[in-house]
């Protein structure tokens, strides 16, 4: 069960949500903007929340197509994630970008701050403890990750010189 779009204020008030499990499969086509997470797209504020023992497991392979990703808390963060922690496993072995907290942090007003991830992140090209990628001015402030990061690719992604754990 995922929340597709969130735009309000989610104040966890220090509470924990345990055992969130997300199992899905990458669609066969039109997947460049596909995301998977507890909250797929955040444009609001998520704060003071702990997700404990998260298990995100996404099957499928994007080939060399840039785009698809998954995160432990958010797929694409365009808002604020503050004082949140995530523990567990986030696995998208065939996805381009995978993050312990968010796959993407997108836009000048997008930020993850004072947050942490502890666990394992697996991606085809870009695994990250906090995020798979920050773009268009997205920020990461005062965060930490204690993570095993695994990149599974044995090929280069479209035009890049990097592959697998060379990233």
Q: Are strands 50-59 and 116-123 parallel, antiparallel or unpaired?
A: unpaired
Over range 8-32, report the average pLDDT: 91
pTM of the model: 0.90
CA–CA–CA angle 25, 26, 27 (5° rounding):
110
Q: What is the pLDDT of residues 80-106, one digit of tens each?
A: 999 999 999 999 998 889 999 999 999
pLDDT band at 2 (very low <50, low <70, confident <90, very high): confident
Q: What is the pLDDT of residues 26-60, one digit of tens each?
A: 888 777 788 889 999 999 999 999 999 999 999 98
Instruction: Give the mean pLDDT of the chain.
Output: 90
Over range 95-121, report the average pLDDT: 95
pLDDT band at 167 (very low <50, low <70, confident <90, very high): very low
For 125: left if phi > 0, alpha if psi spans -120 to 50, otherwise beta; the answer is: alpha
Other CB atoms within 10 Å distance of the CB of residue 142: 11
pLDDT at 160: 55
pLDDT at 165: 46
Percentage of the chain surpassing pLDDT 90?
68
pLDDT at 109: 96
């Amino acid at each position: 069960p995922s929340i597709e779009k969130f735009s309000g204020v989610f104040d966890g008030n220090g509470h924990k949500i345990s055992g969130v499990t997300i199992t899905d499969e990458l669609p066969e086509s039109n997947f460049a903007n596909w995301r998977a997470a507890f909250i797929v797209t955040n444009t609001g504020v998520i704060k003071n929340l702990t997700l404990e023992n998260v298990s995100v497991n996404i099957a499928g392979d994007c080939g060399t197509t840039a785009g698809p990703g998954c995160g432990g808390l958010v797929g694409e963060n365009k808002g604020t994630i503050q004082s949140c922690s995530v523990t567990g496993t986030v696995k998208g072995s065939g996805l381009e970008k995978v993050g312990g907290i968010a796959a993407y942090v997108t836009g000048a007003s997008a930020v993850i701050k004072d947050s942490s991830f502890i666990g394992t992140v697996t991606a085809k090209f870009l695994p990250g403890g906090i995020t798979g990628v920050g773009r268009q001015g997205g920020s990461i402030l005062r965060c930490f990750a204690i993570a095993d990061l695994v990149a599974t690719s044995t090929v280069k992604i479209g035009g890049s010189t990097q592959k697998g754990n060379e990233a």
